[in-house]
Amino acid sequence: MTTPIKHKITVHFHQENRTVSLDVPEGENILQFFEKNGETLPFSCRNGCCTTCAVRILSGSVEQSEGIGLSRQLQEKGYALLCIAKANNSATVETQEEDEVYELQFGKYLDSIQNKAGNPFDI
Ligand code: FES
């Protein structure tokens, strides 16, 4: 029997002023693994869409090919969604400011809607 490969994932949860490190088995979903071990992290949709679970990667990397809610540009800038991310490497990440990634990704569209008179969804 082979020992599963594990990767140390460290999360700086700055809104709660705590840092948690766990050795996550290769290919395991990071958010779910933390929850199974009693460590609750920010989440909402759990499907890679809402960006509530977004983090900044400070070092290392995670596998996030299943995410549809984070643009390639933001992934390249070092953001990740922990609800769809899997451990494939050691990584240190920090939670984002509230709505940071949402604003980066959708802010330009929201600005154009807010500047229109009448029904904001009638575009
Ligand atoms: S919980 Fe919604 S994108 Fe991760």
Count of the separate structural domains present in the chain: 1
For the sheet with 6-13, list strands across it.
18-25, 6-13, 91-95, 54-60, 79-81
Measure Cα distances from 39 to 1, 3, 44, 65, 104 in Å: 29, 24, 15, 24, 27
pLDDT tens profile 24-67: 999 999 999 999 999 999 999 999 988 999 999 999 999 998 77
Alpha carbons within 13 angstroms on the beta-carbon side of residue 86 total 10
Predicted TM-score (pTM) of this structure: 0.84
Name all residues whose Cβ lies below 6 A of ligand 1: 43-46, 48-53, 69, 81, 83
Atom of ligand 1 nearest to the CA of 44: 1
Domain that holds residue 32: 6-114
pLDDT > 70: percent of the chain: 87
pLDDT at 112 over 90: no
Distance 81 CA to ligand 1 centre (A): 6
Say if 65 falls within a structural domain: yes
Domain-located, residue 38: yes
Cα–Cα distance for residue pair 43/22, rounded to 1 Å: 18
Residue 46: give its domain's CATH number.
3.10.20.30
Higher pLDDT, 105 or 47: 47
Ligand 1: atom nearest CA of 70 is 3
Please give the Cα distance from 52 to 60 (Å, whole number): 21
Reported confidence tier of residue 2, pLDDT bands at 50, 70, 90: confident
In a domain, 121, yes or no: no
